[in-house]
Amino acid sequence: MALEQLLKDPRIKTALSSDFPAPLYHQVYLFLKEKIHLGEIGFGEKMPTEHEISEAFGVSRITAKRAMDELGSEGYISRQRGKGSHVTYKNRSEQVKAPLSGFLESLQIIGKDTTVKSLDFGKQQPPMDIQERFGIKPGQELIRSVRLRYAGKIPFGYYVSWTRDIGPSYSEENILTTSRMDILKSSGIALGKVDQTVSATLSNFDTATMLEIPVGRPLLVLDRSMYDADGELIDHMFALYRPDQYQFKMQFSMK
């Protein structure tokens, strides 16, 4: 659907929600930013006016202006009085691919142009469901790591993992540059099995904010547990991926 048609579609007003803690201008900003990321508003294309945005989303002109100013301040559009606003971001059309085989999420596989940012790292008492997974008692701690993976400047993966204290090799510095498999190996952990499932969900306010997409967008979900040779759970990771920037690839042998 062309942008002009999209803005005239009355259903566009449902893209925003006053029930979410994100202000309306930020929701409009995320909506337009996603369209630019997807290439639906291409490089050099003229953006809608503040009046058109205000009418389409059912928001005030001030809200529309703040959303456009946000896009401008981040370099997605250029704004010139009398000439309007134009897209200055060049869409990255290719997706980061990973094979759905073996250990799947080895950091070497994910792509040479990706980077990782740590959001939180340290020992914490895990929630009840994680305690039950690891078979630990209330009060016992695991190492919690929260991080984002980027393709260029675009965040495409959000990870939350819980890991036993396996020694100094598992550090905040190392998880940004070394695959978890290599860290486990250097810590003397011999993996016995890996259980993982791939499913789907919708972004909530927190994950939408982290992955810079509107609330309610579909996400790929990877739930993975890694056990040592004795069957003890060592590491559990919950990962969310933007499907517009990431895809799993599968190969089957018919022999």
Measured in whole angstroms, the distance separating CA 72 from the mean position of its chain's CA atoms is 22
Classified by CATH at the fold level, domain 3-87 comes out as Arc Repressor Mutant, subunit A (1.10.10)
For residues 69-73, average pLDDT: 92
Numbers of helices and strands, H then E, in the chain: 9, 10
Mean pLDDT of the chain: 81
Compute the CA torsion angle 201, 207, 211, 212 (nearest 10 deg).
110
Pick the most confident of 7-11, 200-204, 251-255: 200-204
pLDDT of residue 107: 37
Q: Stretch 172-198: mean pLDDT, rounded?
A: 87
* Residue 145: pLDDT band with limits 50, 70, 90: very high
Mean pLDDT for the stretch of residues 216-227: 88
Looking at per-residue confidence, does 27 or 119 come out higher?
Answer: 119
Strand order in the sheet with 154-163: 114-124, 142-151, 154-163, 233-241, 218-228, 191-202
The residue-averaged pLDDT of 147-159 equals: 89
Residue 105 is predicted with a pLDDT of 43
Class of residue 191 by CB neighbours under 10 A (exposed 0-12, middle 13-18, buried 19+): middle
Do the first three CATH levels of 3-87 and 96-249 match, i.e. the same topology?
A: no
Tokens of 174: 């190392």
Residue among 237, 232, 234, 236 nearest 164 (CA): 234
Residue located via tokens 């980077």: 115
Model confidence at 43, pLDDT cuts 50, 70, 90, reads confident
- Say yes or no: domain 96-249 is CATH 3.40.1410.10: yes
Domain boundaries, the chain: 3-87, 96-249
